């Protein structure tokens, strides 16, 4: 069935791969095929062949923010595994398959500022752009100059404004058939210091952030970080705004964890899935959890917040 695909250079094709191996939650049934494309040409040819042959397919990244189903996926799960990073002065060209931490580390080593606050966020660059990942008051969109993506058989490039970035949103989330290939970033060489001092300062900043993140989301924890998006305070109903203490509002947002805590979400357990005792917006697989349990727990948390506050939380996580 994949004869044409097997003739495309730059592909690695595996059969019946458990999606639990491709997602940080560690759950999910088998993908009929897992297809890794290492180049833009291979990715373009792969998706064209799958479309023409009528084979069901979906594209994923590092799988850190993804919930796969118990039954897996009946067709081809495709990943773009190009890991090229090119640096010219303050301009960085990065492929979507680059691990986000590798981008942070490499730019810091060059004394380039701008993405150091993203340290410790798991996943690949393509997924970070797709969901406009961020932390500590900054998001990746601030550094995006342009994004190159595949729309059908055509490779397109759009600038930052056309990406329609918002909090944890982008135009790519609303056009899931647009496949991110690469991005051009504009970073900065701190003008007030030499490269060695600048790099050392950036390393220190990133190390501090990494320590905090690792305490909250240990690297070995089977989780996706935050499950739900935070809420924009100004967009909440007036009655809800009146119930939110000023001290919990950060940068114009109310953490979803606040509403989840009020709804007694901390420590909830369903099968092998558990809401952290110390963070109500963190669900993790404590062993033997299933996708069905995870989805049910997410639904129950949403139900409780809706019942108590009349607002509906929106997931950051994505589903297959």
The CA-atom distances, in angstroms, between 235 and each of 58, 107, 195, 241, 252 are 33, 36, 43, 9, 10
Catalytic residue among 24, 32, 79, 168: 168
CA distance linking residue 180 with residue 59, whole number of Å: 10
C-alpha 203 chain-centroid distance: 23
Is there a catalytic annotation at residue 316? Answer: yes
Asked if residues 35 and 12 have their Cβ atoms less than 8 Å apart, the reply is yes
Residue environment code for 203-232, b if the CB has 16+ CB neighbours within 10 A, otherwise e = bebbeebbeebeeebeeebbbbbbbbbbbe
- Closest among 59, 271, 250, 24 to 149, alpha carbons compared: 59
Cβ 60 vs Cβ 37: under 8 Å: no
- Cβ neighbors of 194 (< 8 A, separation 6 or more) are none
Q: Which of 32, 226, 256, 304 is catalytic?
A: 226
Residue 55 CA to residue 74 CA, distance in Å, equals: 9
Residues 131 and 140: their CA atoms lie apart, in Å, by: 9
14: which strand partners?
Answer: 34
- Given a contact cutoff of 8 angstroms between Cβ atoms, the answer to whether 118 and 128 are in contact is yes
Q: Kindly name the residue from 40, 184, 293, 316 that is annotated as catalytic.
A: 316
146 is catalytic: no
Active site residue 226: yes
Phi–psi pair at 293, nearest 5 degrees: -65, -40
* Residue 4 parent element (H or E): helix 3-6
Catalytic residue IDs: 168, 226, 316
């Amino acid at each position: 069935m994949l004869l044409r695909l097997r003739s495309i250079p730059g592909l690695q094709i595996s059969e019946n791969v458990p999606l639990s191996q491709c997602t940080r939650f560690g759950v999910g049934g088998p993908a009929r095929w897992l297809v890794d494309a290492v180049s833009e040409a291979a990715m373009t040819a792969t998706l064209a062949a799958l479309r023409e042959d009528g084979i069901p397919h979906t594209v994923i990244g590092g799988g850190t923010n993804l919930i796969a189903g118990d039954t897996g996926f009946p067709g081809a799960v495709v990943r773009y595994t190009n890991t090229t990073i090119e640096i010219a002065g303050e301009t960085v060209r990065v492929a979507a398959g680059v691990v986000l931490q590798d981008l942070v580390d490499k730019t810091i080593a060059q004394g380039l500022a701008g993405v150091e606050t993203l340290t410790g966020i798991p996943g690949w660059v393509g997924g970070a752009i797709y969901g406009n990942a961020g932390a500590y008051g900054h998001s990746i969109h601030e550094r995006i100059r342009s994004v190159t993506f595949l729309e059908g058989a055509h490779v397109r490039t759009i600038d930052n404004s056309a990406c329609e970035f918002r909090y944890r949103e982008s135009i790519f989330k609303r056009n899931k058939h647009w496949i991110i290939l690469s991005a051009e970033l504009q970073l900065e060489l701190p003008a007030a210091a030499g490269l060695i001092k600048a790099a050392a300062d950036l390393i220190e900043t990133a190390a501090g952030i990494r320590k905090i993140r690792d305490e909250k989301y240990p690297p070995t924890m089977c989780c996706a970080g935050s499950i739900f998006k935070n809420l924009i305070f100004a967009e909440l109903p007036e009655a809800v705004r009146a119930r939110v203490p000023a001290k919990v509002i950060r940068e114009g947002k109310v953490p979803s964890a606040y509403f989840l805590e009020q709804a007694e979400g901390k420590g909830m357990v369903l099968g092998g899935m558990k809401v952290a005792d110390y963070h109500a917006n963190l669900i993790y697989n404590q062993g033997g959890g299933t996708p069905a349990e995870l989805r049910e727990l997410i639904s129950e948390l949403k139900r409780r917040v809706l019942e108590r506050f009349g607002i509906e939380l929106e997931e950051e996580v994505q589903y297959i």
